């Protein structure tokens, strides 16, 4: 459960009307913002123990949680875990407008968006990262995380 009263909801479009990114929707107003932006799906990349959704989130959206580690963990996600995440992520994004989040929207949710931009627009890692940073300024994955997704994307789409 979110015990931090100063927790701020962030919402930014990565691709207008298709893919948005931000922090976990913990308040009723966060749900209203998602509805106003016609979001249908929510993908959370952090555990419910890290931060809980507002109780009405699952009533209003198709929701999935697929936990992946951030830089506080000793180990990065495995390539198999990334593949599972990416398949599920694309399934949501390709159907309806999707909001992807993690706790702070700095590492995990930007990573999956970078991967999507790389594939969709056939861009390299650096250009995809630059784009995501422009539309979502809090983006700041580690070099190890970036190297991991680059390795994954090259193995899947080369």
Q: Which two tokens stand for residue 96?
A: 């309806």
Tell me, yes or no, whether 5 lies in a domain: no
| Domain span holding position 43 | 11-157
Q: Would residue 36 count as lying in a domain?
A: yes
We report the CATH number of the domain holding residue 93 as 3.90.190.10
Strands (E), the chain: 11-15, 19-23, 41-44, 62-65, 98-102
**Long-range pairs for 49-55: beta carbons < 8 A, 24 or more residues apart:** 50/103, 51/1, 51/2, 51/7, 51/23, 51/24, 51/26, 51/103, 52/1, 52/2, 52/24, 52/26, 53/24, 53/25, 53/26, 54/25, 54/26, 54/27, 54/28, 54/30
pLDDT at 7: 84
30: in domain:
yes
Q: How many domains does the chain have?
A: 1
This prediction has a pTM of 0.94
**pLDDT for res 4:** 62
* Weakly modelled stretches of the chain, pLDDT under 50: 1
Q: What pLDDT is stored for residue 1 in this prediction? A: 46
Tell me if 4 is assigned to some domain. Answer: no
DSSP state of 56: T
| 1 lies in some domain | no
Report if residue 142 sits inside a domain.
Answer: yes
């Amino acid at each position: 459960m979110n015990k931090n009263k100063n927790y701020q909801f962030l919402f930014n479009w990565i691709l207008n009307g298709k893919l948005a990114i931000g922090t976990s929707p913990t308040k009723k107003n966060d749900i209203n913002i998602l509805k106003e932006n016609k979001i249908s799906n929510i993908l959370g990349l952090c555990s419910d123990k890290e931060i809980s959704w507002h109780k009405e989130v699952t009533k209003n959206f198709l929701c999935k949680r697929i936990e992946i580690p951030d830089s506080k963990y000793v180990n990065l996600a495995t390539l198999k875990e990334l593949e599972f995440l990416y398949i599920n992520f694309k399934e949501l994004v390709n159907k309806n407008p999707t909001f992807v989040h993690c706790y702070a929207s700095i590492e995990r949710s930007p990573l999956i968006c970078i991967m999507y931009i790389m594939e969709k627009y056939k861009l390299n890692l650096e250009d995809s990262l630059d784009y995501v940073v422009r539309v979502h300024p809090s983006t700041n994955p580690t070099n190890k995380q970036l190297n991991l997704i680059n390795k994954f994307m090259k193995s899947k789409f080369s």
